[in-house]
Amino acid sequence: MLDRFLYYCLTVPIGNLPLFCIYGLFDIFYLLIRTIIPYRKKVVEQNLRKSFPNASEPEISYIKKKFYGFFTDLFAESVKNLFITEKSLRRRMKVRNPEVMEQFYDQGKSVILLSSHYNNWEFLITAQSLLFRFQAVGIGSPLSNKYWDRKITGRRERFGMKVVHASNYKDELRKLTSRPAATLVLGDQSPGKAENCYWTTFLNQETAFYFGAEFMANEFDMPVICGIIHKVSRGKYELELKLITATPKMEAYGFITESYIRNLEEAIVQEPRYWLWSHKRWKKDVPANPAEVKLEHKERFLKRFRS
């Protein structure tokens, strides 16, 4: 009952306001999460200090302040995203170089779009089917609250995106035969078991990454494109595409994942305020025997796809 009340009596009315009005409402939220009840302050500060060990305290404080401003706008835009019109969304999310992906549609090939929690990924999820001719597919895990999971998934899918669960994405992809698909993967989430991760140095720290995109690319022989979202102005974004590989089965182990990580790292270093620093990205302990874990992971990959 409370979920229905919050959705229909709070989220729907606010989400249907003009975006500038929602920004105004959430300016209060900015003051709350930055000064009165700092949102995940310790997590944000720890992540920033470890990622930028040579930065001074004033520099860390500046990035943190800017991050909270971005996070507040992201929250406002995410609420608006649930009810935004197609016309407005097309205006607010554009692609700098769509030909990088569209060439594969012309070849009849499905692709993987590997992006991140950098700038407004919610706009990208909802707009993807409007930006490209491909059938848009998004892989994710359902929310623990089933009511909100149904509502948010339904709103994300209203322009053509198909949201599938990570546990059965293979079956869902095999069903899509009418036209090539572009499967969106947000590759910077905190992954599962340490032995199934790709370990590398990222932002000056030993970091575990999902290996799913590289695995999927080799399983289905799909080209992989990295998508970095850039902020143009408040509420307006551009997606920059970079081809990682058109021939995944010819690449060395880790090439796809490592290429994606370096593209993401470069974007974060240039504009650190736009990454999700409140996310507990480094909560996974580094294995006691990292070299052994990495070698075993590599051997399993090579046995499956290169033997």
pLDDT at 208: 93
- Position 72 scores a pLDDT of 95
Over the stretch 77-101, which tens digit does the pLDDT of each residue have?
Answer: 999 999 999 999 999 999 999 999 9
- Spell out, as residue ranges, where the chain has pLDDT lower than 70: none
Round to whole Å and give the CA distance between 155 and 130: 14
Please tell me the pTM assigned to this model.
0.94
The string over 70-101, giving b where at least 16 C-beta atoms fall within 10 Å of a residue's C-beta and e elsewhere, is: bbbbbbbbbbbbbbbeeeebeebbebeeeebb
Q: Is residue 165 part of a domain?
A: yes
Residue 193 maps to a domain: yes
Q: Is residue 36 part of a domain?
A: no
Is residue 116 situated within a structural domain? yes
Q: Is residue 25 part of a domain?
A: no
- 3-state class of 184 per DSSP? strand
Q: What is the DSSP string of 79-91?
A: HHHTT--HHHHHH
Q: How many domains does the chain have?
A: 1
Q: Please check whether residue 72 lies inside any domain of the structure.
A: no
Angle between helices 19-31 and 57-81 (to 10 degrees): 140
Question: Residue 51 domain-assigned?
Answer: no
**Block residue for tokens 């401003």:** 69
User: What confidence score (pLDDT) does residue 199 get?
Assistant: 94
pLDDT of residue 283: 85
Q: Are 101 and 251 in contact (CB under 8 A)?
A: no
Q: Which domain holds residue 162?
A: 93-305
User: Could you report the per-residue pLDDT of 104-136, keeping only the tens digit for each?
Assistant: 999 999 999 999 999 999 999 999 999 999 999
> Which pLDDT score, from 0 to 100, does residue 194 have?
75
